[in-house]
Chains A and B, each alone.
Chain A
Amino acid sequence: MDIRIIHFYPDLMSLYGSYANVAVLRRYLEALGNTVTVETVVPGQEADLAGADFLFMGAGTERSQKAALADFARFGSAVKAAAESGTAMLFAGTAMELLGSTITDAEGKVYEGIGLAAFTSVQGKTRFVADVYGATSLFPEPVVGFMNKCSTVSGVKTPLLDSLALGFGNEGEKTPEGFHWKNVFASELTGPILVKNPRLLAAVAEAIYRRRGETLPEERPVDRWAEDGYAITAEQLKLRCQSK
């Protein structure tokens, strides 16, 4: 297949190695025999979302997030239509908040999100930084990651992680985390979560295939380093959970 990925604001929303989510997905899809094109969009640049297979935006500072939102609002209808029709997408870190109905900053100023989902985000002066170890209904293996945010997200009915044994979720410690609806994946877990979680990478790839009416091949590439790295982190975080 020819697969088209759109990466929104790769410099503005680039914290914690966010770009690696696109890099690892591209490599995975290419290893499956696909031809992958990645288009980047900077603020003010035109982009045609029609026919895109995957949309991605990474984490940014709270100020960069508002700058991204100011531009991203013009794509709101197109992103919602794409989500409705089953297009796969991942919004990671503070980018997740853009999908909701509002973002309230630490000074109380309210910004309109694109309204793909009904949740609201309220940012504060306290930063929640902690390792995360959680469970998703998408696959049996635990999800590992790191939370680095200053917001509370309320009103998510379909989280990506149903429960956390360690770390901060949408509404506080050990609450469900992220958002998942149709083929929309969103998580405030920062950094390259698709590198850290090989099962989540496969789930996203599967969503891309599903939208095309295809199924992922049985024979799939195994990324040894990512698998071994995941196993060690999962073990470390599990031990951490047990010791708490």
Chain B
Amino acid sequence: MFLAILVCKLGRFVGKLVGKGSSMPGKFALKICPDILRRIQMPPHIIAVTGSNGKTSTVEMIAAILRADGKHVVYNKEGSNQIEGVTTLVLAHATMGGRVKADVLLLESDERYAKFSFQFFHPTEFVITNLYRDQLTRNGHPEWVYDAILPAIHPETELILNADDPLSSCFAVGHEKVKWFGLDKCSVSTDAPTGVYRDGAYCPVCKAPMEYDYVHYNHIGAYRCTKCGHAKPATDYTATDVDLENGTLTIDGGVTIQLAFRSIYNVYNILAAYAACRECGVAPETASGVINNYILKNGRMQKFTLGQHHGTLLTSKHENSIAYDTNLRYVASTKADCAVLIIVDAVSRKYFTSETSWLWDIDFDQLNRAHVRKIIFSGRYCNDLAERFSFTAISPEVWSVQPDIAAAAAELKAQGGEDLYVVTCFSDRDKLLTLPDVKKEAL
């Protein structure tokens, strides 16, 4: 063990000097001592966060709250959430005797790799944010991901689950220690599911039809199976009121939070982080104090100017229709005249694919609003976007195609001064943000 820790620490030191990734030192350590993670003395709390959407935001918020509470938190900020990266992180913060010098080990965990990381140790608290259609070119489909996460769940782990998600809530079946977070019926709720497809139409447990008392977005809400009884459970941590218009969120009827970003997404990330921290003994006022007007510094929402346009870049993961739907809902909720630029150039920054089926799962009709004056599609797959839009109710007069991203930016710069929303992915965002005419505003 001593040798493995030494090699890992040295490897990390050298890696930092040469700017190399964070998984190699852990890989060496695992070769020397394959069960090193079992031998290490872990901190009293190991919090893991997984799910399709909101992992990074939730983890960052948890870290900020716990630190404000005086806890020493170690977490995989570098985003290496496979076992090698986790090993590097753990050993880098361990004494040579094998004790992790922290109060909390916090891990953002890839859905498909969690079972490998947690074969030698297990989280004390495991937050699963949601399971949606996401990166089908690598993940298959949400039930496939569910089956991949299941072996990562240890009977002694306390699960912190989203009560409003019919699929990820199934992790509670047969599991004793579960805490639930969820959102009561509120001003954003609708009577029926929204979106292009209905992943809540059938029960994930028995496949009988499901009904909804209310819906917050897509298939997230108060579901009830008509046959087996699978239903939204009573919640332990509850958003009792949400007012996106005025940007306020009330938790458990008493804790009021000002939302820096008025998105329903943000509400769920906050709830998940709040629940996890409360389970670690953090007082409500400490948590709310940090979350109040909390601005994520991960660059997912970047303000900029382009000519006379004030721009907002809304990072939506490609291949993730709910991420797109959420950002389109945000654009639809704005009042001032605006233009929208949608860029699909590289479907993924990590692997090659020409797969564009996911465009058909996005509810682009949300942009059918009078204040959305202009929509431009750009990037290699601009024609696929145009084909998708030709099946919406949005007038073809509103949208146009400009394959070249720089030319699309020049076209926008030359005309008008309306607000500009750019909807794209991490794989494509810098193709716009690095253009000389685009002036980024400080976060």
Contacts and interface: CB of A to CB of B under 8 A. Distances in A.
Interface residues of B, number: 36
Contacts of B142: 61
Contact of B360 (A27, A192, A223): A192
A217 B360 CA distance: 29
B390 interface: yes
A203 to B, nearest CB: 19
Contacts of B201: 11-12
B393 to A, nearest CB: 13
A19 interface: yes
Interface stretch (B32-40, B251-259, B349-357, B427-435): B349-357
Interface in A189-225: 190-192, 195-196, 223, 225
Interface in B104-155: 133, 136-138, 140-144
B426 interface: no
Contacts of A14: 197-198
Given A20-B391, A63-B207, A229 B357 contact: no
A23 B391 contact: yes
A197 B387 CA distance: 12
A129 B137 contact: yes
A225 B383 contact: yes
Given A11-B197, A16-B361, A63 B143 contact: yes
A17 B354 contact: no
B359 interface: yes
B383 A131 contact: no
A20 B357 CA distance: 9
B301 interface: no
Nearest to B199: A14
Interface string A124-141: 000101010000000000
Q: How large is the interface on A (under 10, 10 to 19, 20 to 34, 35 or more residues)?
A: 35 or more
Contacts of B137: 129, 146, 148
Given A67-B202, A146-B353, A17 B360 contact: yes
Interface string A5-32: 0000001101111011001100100000
A129 B138 contact: yes
B330 interface: no
Contacts of B352: 131, 240
B171 interface: no
A238 to B, nearest CB: 10
A23 B390 CA distance: 11
Residue from the set A16, A24, A42 with the largest chain B CB neighbour count within 10 Å: A16
Contacts of A23: 391
A143 B383 CA distance: 18
Given A12-B201, A146-B353, A233-B354, A61 B360 contact: no
Interface in A140-177: 144, 146, 148, 150
B376 to A, nearest CB: 14
A195 B236 CA distance: 46
A39 interface: no
A191 B207 contact: no
Contacts of B381: 229, 232
Contacts of B356: 196, 229, 233
A19 B360 contact: yes
B373 interface: no
A62 B147 CA distance: 11
B99 interface: no
A131 B133 CA distance: 18
Interface string A233-244: 100110010000
13 contacts: A16-B361, A17-B359, A17-B361, A42-B209, A61-B141, A61-B143, A63-B143, A66-B207, A127-B144, A129-B137, A144-B354, A195-B387, A233-B356
Interface of A: 11-12, 14-17, 19-20, 23-24, 27, 42, 61-64, 66-67, 127, 129, 131, 144, 146, 148, 150, 190-192, 195-196, 223, 225-226, 228-229, 232-233, 236-237, 240
Given A233-B384, A236-B380, 4 more contacts: A14-B198, A64-B207, A144-B354, A148-B141
Interface of B: 133, 136-138, 140-144, 196-198, 201-202, 204, 207, 209, 352-361, 380-381, 383-384, 386-387, 390-391, 401
